[in-house]
């Protein structure tokens, strides 16, 4: 057995052992150096850089994506499309496509400051209320330039609001939130909707009186909310009038489909209580929400009649609210749904009257008074809707005589 001095001499003279020790020493040194660099980079990043995270559930997320689509983004090889569309009254559709950087890292310069934008989509993590993947956008820049975040978000907000100025925004429910549906629409004039004499004026007067008398309601302890029911056959102008009314009031519209899959009593109550300010709540085709056929099929919304009644005027019902309901079949509605306090104002929008027929004809063909009277005589009493009349006049838009001679096509179709 070798003594210690001999063992030391042997190991030091062994080339393989020396090489191994050297390799271990270099490896250990590199590991220590790498660890030091990592810590140094982490410390430097904390001291020199600042980040802003924008989750997809935050309202500014949509503003930022729209704003980012207007910027010059470098190295954006992976793009995502943001599509918005508007369906016009004549049935045509206008679509607008915006290309924004997709998931990944991108760089851009704004107001002399370089920023990194990282968009991350987690397909394994879903929003249980919408079923959409969870997304975040993280902005990173030098710490001394952190003020740029506030300026950027303010500009994104102003850009979004400028797009809505002078227009009506249509909101639809998206999970527990209200989100804009398509592009903001040009405000529709009240004059563009032809209702029978006195109807339009009565409703507008009542709504404006409600809006301007909040203190009167509060002083008397009356809930500051008002419900309206427009009923009548399809195509009589119910939805068109509500859109024009919103334009007159400079309000937006929140459309809620009570037959929507996944809608519950709690979510309904939350949506009605958290609508955007200066908005008209619209419940279309209210008669279809609680049909026996829907209940028998066992799909769609799980909203109950009692849940809707509580949301409309229960203890937790919101204040400062205007609700419009529409139906083609008023006789199918539960009396409890349309009693005073839930529906305070009812109005029938029926088939086109002689006044409406004549007024619409002259709206399309100015100064053609004699032809207007001939047209009225041909179609009166046939139960036609204003939507049918509009379609007919659009078809014969440059031929008032043809519109009269082919008046039978209004009810028979082309």
Structure tokens at 206: 């009542």
**Same-domain check for residues 296 and 358:** no
HSE-CB at 290 with a 13 A cutoff on CA atoms is: 12
Measured CA to CA, the distance from residue 352 to residue 348 in angstroms comes to: 12
- Which pLDDT tens digit goes with each residue over 53-85? 988 878 788 888 888 877 766 555 566 666 555
Quick one: pLDDT at residue 33? 66
Of 192, 243, 197, which is closest to residue 356 (Cα–Cα)? 197
Measured CA to CA, the distance from residue 207 to residue 228 in angstroms comes to: 9
Q: Do strands 321-327 and 225-231 pair parallel, antiparallel, or not at all (unpaired)? A: parallel
Give pairs for 36-42: CB < 8 Å, separation 24+: none
- Whether residue 143 lies inside any domain: the answer is yes
**Same-domain check for residues 65 and 126:** yes
Q: How many CB atoms lie within 10 A of CB 219?
A: 9
Cα 60–Cα 66–Cα 67 angle in degrees, nearest 5? 85
Average pLDDT, the chain: 80
Task: Please state the domain count of the chain.
Answer: 3
- Whether residue 34 lies inside any domain: the answer is no
**Same-domain check for residues 81 and 190:** no
Which pLDDT tens digits describe the chain residue by residue (414 residues)?
Answer: 545 555 555 545 656 545 555 556 556 666 676 776 666 556 555 667 888 898 887 878 888 888 887 776 655 556 666 655 544 444 444 556 666 666 778 888 888 888 888 888 776 655 544 456 678 888 898 877 788 888 989 998 888 878 777 789 899 888 778 888 877 888 889 999 999 999 999 999 999 999 999 899 889 888 888 999 999 999 999 999 999 999 999 999 999 988 888 788 888 888 888 888 889 999 988 888 776 444 444 455 678 888 888 888 865 556 778 999 999 999 999 899 999 888 999 999 999 999 999 999 999 999 999 999 999 999 998 999 999 999 999 999 999 999 999 998 887 654
Residue 221's domain spans which residues? 185-348
- Whether residue 7 lies inside any domain: the answer is no
Measured CA to CA, the distance from residue 123 to residue 126 in angstroms comes to: 7
Measured CA to CA, the distance from residue 300 to residue 353 in angstroms comes to: 38
H helix runs in 220-353, sequence order: 238-249, 265-273, 292-297, 305-313
Measured CA to CA, the distance from residue 31 to residue 257 in angstroms comes to: 62
**Same-domain check for residues 199 and 342:** yes
Quote the distance between the C-alpha of residue 101 and its chain's center: 22
**Same-domain check for residues 61 and 210:** no
């Amino acid at each position: 057995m070798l003594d210690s001095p001999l063992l030391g001499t042997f190991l030091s003279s062994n080339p393989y052992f020396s090489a191994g020790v050297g390799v271990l020493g270099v490896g250990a040194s590199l590991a220590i150096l790498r660890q030091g660099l990592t810590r140094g980079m982490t410390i430097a990043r904390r001291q020199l850089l600042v980040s802003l995270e924008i989750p997809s559930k935050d309202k500014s997320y949509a503003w930022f994506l729209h704003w980012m689509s207007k910027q010059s983004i470098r190295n954006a090889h992976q793009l995502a499309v943001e599509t918005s569309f508007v369906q016009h009254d004549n049935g045509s559709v206008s679509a607008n496509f915006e290309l924004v950087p997709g998931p990944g890292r991108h760089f851009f310069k704004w107001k002399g400051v370089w920023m990194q934008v990282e968009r991350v989509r987690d397909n394994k993590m879903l929003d249980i209320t919408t079923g959409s993947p969870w997304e975040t956008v993280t902005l990173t820049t030098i710490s001394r330039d952190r003020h740029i975040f506030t300026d950027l978000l303010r500009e994104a907000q102003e850009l979004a609001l400028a797009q809505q100025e002078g227009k009506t925004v249509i909101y639809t429910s998206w999970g527990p939130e209200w989100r804009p549906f398509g592009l903001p629409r040009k405000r529709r004039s009240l004059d563009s909707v032809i209702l029978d004499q006195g109807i339009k004026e009565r409703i507008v007067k009542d709504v404006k009186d409600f809006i301007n008398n909040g203190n009167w309601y509060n002083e008397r302890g009356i809930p500051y909310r008002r419900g309206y029911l427009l009923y009548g056959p399809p195509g009589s102008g119910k939805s068109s009038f509500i859109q024009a009314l919103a334009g007159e009031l400079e309000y937006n519209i929140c459309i809620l489909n009570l037959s929507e899959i996944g809608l519950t009593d709690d979510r309904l109550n939350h949506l009605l209580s958290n609508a955007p300010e200066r908005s008209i709540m619209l419940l279309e085709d209210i008669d279809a929400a609680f049909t026996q056929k829907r209940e028998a099929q066992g799909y769609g919304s799980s909203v109950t009649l009692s849940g809707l009644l509580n949301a409309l005027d229960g203890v937790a019902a919101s204040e400062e609210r205007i609700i419009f309901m529409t139906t083609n079949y008023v006789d199918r509605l539960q009396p409890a749904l349309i009693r005073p306090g839930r529906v305070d104002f009812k109005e029938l929008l029926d088939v086109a009257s002689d006044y409406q027929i004549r007024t619409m004809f002259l709206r399309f063909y100015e100064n053609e008074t004699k032809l207007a009277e001939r047209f009225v005589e041909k179609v009166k009493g046939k139960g036609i809707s204003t939507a049918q009349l509009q379609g007919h006049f659009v078809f014969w838009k440059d031929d008032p005589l043809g519109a009269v001679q082919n008046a039978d096509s209004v009810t028979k179709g082309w």
